[in-house]
Amino acid sequence: MVLICLRWLGSGQNPQWVNYTSGKDINCISEEGNFLWIGTKGGLVKYNKTTGTSIFYNVSNSGLPINWILSIATDRDGVKWIGSYYGLSRFNGYSCITYNTENSGLTGNKIRSLAIDTNGFIWIGTEIGITKYDKINWTTYNTINSGLPDNDIKSLKIDRLGNRWIGTEEGLVKFDGDKWITYNTANSQLPSNVVNCITIDKIGNIWIGTEDGLAKFDGINWTIYNRSNSDIASSNISSIAVDENDVTWVGTDGGISTLYGEEWTTYDSSNLLLIRGEVSVIFIDDSGIKWIGMLAGGLLKYNGKEWSFCNTSNSGLPDNNVTSIVKDSTDKFWIGTTSGLARLNGITWTVFDSLNSHLPYKTIICMTFDIHGNLWIGTTGGLVKFDGASWNIFNSENSGLLCNNIYSIAIEGSDTIWIGTMNGLSRFDGTTWTNFNTLNSGLPNNNINTIFVDEKRIKWIGTKEGLSKFDGINWLTYNTLNSGLPQNNLSTISTDEEGILWIGSRGKGLIKFDGSNWEVYNTYNSGLPFPLVNTIFNDSNGIKWIGTARGGLAKFDGKIWTKYLSIMKGLPYDDVVSINSDDNGSKWIGTNYGGLAIFNENGIPFPELENAGNESNVKLFISRTKKEVIISVPSKMKSSIIEIKDIQGNIVSRQTIEKKRTILDMLDLLVGDYIINVKTDQEIVFGQKVKKELSRKVF
């Protein structure tokens, strides 16, 4: 039992961590009454089917061990069982307990499939076999102690007789609790041994999706559908569902196909523009509405007449691979990802990609601003200059750029751009291109990982074969043979307020170089959590923030090291690739796979209330039980609605004011800070900040 209370938001502690993620990669869906629980690569989403509002759960606000959700099942008590790369999580809507190989009987942490039997037992498909959990004991079945042909479990369903149907990469398995039967291409008509998905229709037929076709099995006979004998969109099947009218819905990497009798209908990008990627899951709710999840394409709703797109992201991030973060002169943040560019202005997101802008390629590697406010973007398809209105593209075909794969960019003075590529170093002064490589310069290697220009306009160039110093005339290279460098392959270069260089290596730690002396920090002699350093950020207080490849984030004040890992709840992933800071001292942290995290040791400042009108007769107060908010509005106010927004500006609840006194139930909302707005068609007439807290918790 969890007891909650509400209070007006005052000067209490704000959350230290906030995660911004993309939920466009849908992996699984479960239903609970009027809500869908949706597992994405960006966290868990509770979606209200009536209002279209969502509550977003991630590692910063829920206790989830990772944002990348692979599977989900809801038991008879409403408890959500969530599978991820980090184990099995039990989530009751308020708090989360995670079971993994270290604290339970689980033999594998990667959980791609879940099923709950009539006894309430949890069946867990891992990469090391199947585990049954009866809420007390853990029992594991694998290739050694059972009839499983393969330990890597891809799918799992239980039929009405209690038989477990198991999809592996070595065939389909039926387990009745005693006997194991394997169906494969050698002993059956199964079109492929790689079984991606399974569903069971209302008369007990087993539908099996493989990488080479769809199969229907009635226990005796097999019926096979593939591209050669049917009009199915693709033979690579990723999801199957059967509706109340006996229409089979099939998700593939080429779109959606439906089968009714012998008639096929296909929806793909040619006739339904909302189809934007591989169909990963098809879910039919109790009302018969179809919900289609895609990889990189988000969630679609089909009510039998109309298709609509449903938001499953708590931000405008194009994807969760954040490669670069820069801030412009107006304090807007620009975030580069592997699927495009996003700009965040307060709580407003603007996305630029190859479809709506002149970005030559969606994968952004690096970015920087020049003193004129131009944004220079390095992509895998060339160099881009964006002045806020116009896009100028430079590539190896239309300019003197050495190569289209841009690894690093640095600005010298007001007009000179240095570009590091996989084929050498390019300099562009706005008119003339000059190129440097191992044949015409002192560069030790053409693979330019990083460039830094210091206050004396000396260029420091990190390569795979050492560190080069170039003053415009002379070249000097430092390597493991002639310096204190522990490794020649260098990843990043930064400088502190004293002009000392801080250099990241790709496996030998962090290096400090004052021009004469070298000092190396590694996992043996310091608190550095991992030896591969991706990025270094020096804040205004002289503190170094170090992003590592698998060790998360480290803070170093010159004496004390502090580590921030994903297991500590807040950092979404331990591969930190970019760091920046805002005027409040909050650190903006870009990760691979985990999206964007904001961190402030003193609490992230709450956004300001939107400009409200002068309606003084709106009253808002907390009930005596401290569990509800009561809104009182004047009778003359018409067409009023109440919206609740979270700290990131997402609308998590919306309802119409149907009478003068309305009770706003916040029971389902996460613990945290919210803004309650009362709105008419024309304006916001009232705004108030409120905090939801746990007063007591008994699990």
pLDDT of the residue at 39:
97
Question: By the 8 A CB rule, do 417 and 409 touch?
Answer: yes
Q: What pLDDT is attached to residue 624?
A: 63
Per-residue model confidence (pLDDT) at position 8: 47
Class of residue 242 by CB neighbours under 10 A (exposed 0-12, middle 13-18, buried 19+): buried
Q: Tell which residue, 62, 94, 60, has the closest CA to residue 78.
A: 94
C-alpha–C-alpha distance, residues 608 and 151, integer Å: 52
Token digits of residue 539: 């804040």
Give the residue with greater pLDDT, 650 vs 208.
208
Residue with tokens 């015409």: 440
The predicted structure's pLDDT at residue 658: 64
* Whether the Cβ atoms of residue 216 and residue 184 lie closer than 8 Å to each other: no
Q: Is the dihedral of CA 180, 185, 188, 191 positive or negative?
A: positive
Asked if 10 and 693 touch (Cβ cutoff 8 Å), the reply is no
Average pLDDT over residues 602-624: 66
Q: How far apart are CA 616 and CA 391, in angstroms?
A: 48
The answer to whether residue 498 scores a pLDDT higher than 60 is yes
d(CA 564, CA 579): 13
User: Mind giving me the DSSP string for 259-273?
Assistant: EETTEEEEE-TTT-T
Q: Tell me which residue of 508, 410, 423 sits closest to 460, measured CA to CA.
A: 410
Residue 324 near residue 35, CB atoms below 8 Å: no
* Nearest to 604, CA basis, from 68, 149, 20: 20
Q: Is 613 in contact with 669 (CB distance < 8 Å)?
A: no
Task: Please tell me the pTM assigned to this model.
Answer: 0.89
Paired with 350 in beta bridges are 343
Q: Which pLDDT band holds residue 12 (cuts at 50, 70, 90)? A: very low
223: CB partners within 8 A, 6+ apart: 215, 216, 217
Q: Sheet of 96-99: strands edge to edge?
A: 69-74, 80-84, 87-91, 96-99
Q: How far is CA 541 from the centre of its chain?
A: 31
- Across the chain, mean pLDDT equals 91
Quick one: DSSP state of residue 509? -
Nearest partner of 317 among 567, 591, 28, judged by Cα: 591
Taking a C-beta distance cutoff of 8 angstroms, is the pair 604, 16 a contact?
Answer: yes
- Number of other CB atoms surrounding residue 245 within 10 Å: 8
Per-residue pLDDT, averaged over 488-510, amounts to 97
Beta strand spans in 285-339 (E): 290-294, 298-302, 307-310, 322-327, 333-337
* 221: pLDDT strictly greater than 90: yes
| Confidence check: pLDDT of 586 > 50 | yes
For residue 364, what are its two tokens?
A: 């952004």
> In whole angstroms, what is the distance from residue 289 CA to residue 111 CA?
27
Identify which of 91, 114, 87 has the alpha carbon closest to the alpha carbon of residue 101: 87
Q: Among all chains, which residue has been given the structure tokens 């995660």?
A: 19
Higher pLDDT, 628 or 512: 512
The answer for residues whose C-beta is within 8 angstroms of residue 587's C-beta and 6 or more apart is 537, 539, 545, 579, 580, 581, 598, 599, 600
Asked if residues 567 and 64 have their Cβ atoms less than 8 Å apart, the reply is: no
Q: Strand, helix or coil at 304? A: coil
pLDDT in tens, 281-319: 999 999 999 999 999 899 999 999 999 999 999 999 999
Of 80-84, 240-244, 668-672, the one with minimum mean pLDDT is 668-672
Average pLDDT over residues 179-188: 98
Neighbours of 371 (CB within 10 A): 10
Is the separation of the CB atoms in 386 and 343 below 8 Å? no
Distance spanning both ends of the chain, measured CA to CA: 6
The four Cα atoms 182, 185, 191, 192 give a dihedral, to 10 degrees, of 80
Q: Which residues pair with 620 in a beta bridge?
A: 631
Nearest-angstrom CA–CA distance, 253 and 211: 10
- Answer for the pair 468, 476: CB distance below 8 angstroms, yes or no: yes
The larger pLDDT score, comparing residue 242 to residue 7, is at 242
Q: Residue 3 — very low, low, confident or very high, per pLDDT cuts 50/70/90?
A: very low
Q: Tokens for 284?
A: 């039919």
CA–CA gap between residue 459 and residue 598 (Å, rounded) = 31
Contact 656, 47 (CB under 8 A): no
Q: What is the DSSP letter of 567?
A: G
Selection from 106, 102, 60 nearest residue 81 by Cα: 106
Tell me if 249 sits within 8 A of 282, measured CB to CB: yes
Residue 339 is given by DSSP the state T
| Average confidence (pLDDT) over 125-153 | 97
Q: What is the pLDDT of residues 316-345, one digit of tens each?
A: 999 999 999 999 999 999 999 999 999 999
State yes or no: pLDDT of 629 exceeds 80: no
Q: What is the pLDDT of residue 697?
A: 41
Reference 248, options 230, 235, 261; nearest CA is 261
**In sequence order, what are the beta bridge partners of 684?**
679
Tell me the two tokens of residue 349: 């997101």
Give the model's confidence band at 627: pLDDT under 50 very low, under 70 low, under 90 confident, else very high.
low
Of residues 607 and 119, more confidently modeled: 119
What is the spatial distance between Cα 532 and Cα 525, in angstroms, rounded to a whole number? Answer: 15
Instruction: Inform me whether the pLDDT recorded for 698 exceeds 50.
Output: no
> What is the mean predicted confidence (pLDDT) over 636-642?
67
DSSP line for 540-559:
TTS-EEEEESSS-EEEE-SS
For 148, the token pair is 């499983």
Pick the closest to residue 328 from 580, 623, 68, 672 (CA basis): 580
- Of residues 617, 587, 583, 589, the one with CA closest to residue 600: 587
Question: In degrees rounded to 5, what are phi and psi of residue 156?
Answer: -160, 125
Burial class (CB in 10 A: 0-12, 13-18, 19+), 527: middle
Across the strands, what pairs with 691? 7, 673
422 alpha-carbon distance from chain centroid: 28
- Provide the pLDDT for residue 11: 43
At 613, the amino acid letter reads: G
> Encoding tokens for residue 624?
């005596």
Strands 298-302, 290-294: pairing kind: antiparallel
CB atoms within 10 A of CB 308: 11
- Looking at residue 649, its pLDDT comes to 78
Tokens of 263: 């008639």
pLDDT of residue 652 exceeding 90: no
Which residues have a Cβ under 8 Å from the Cβ of 614 and sit 6 or more positions away?
Answer: none
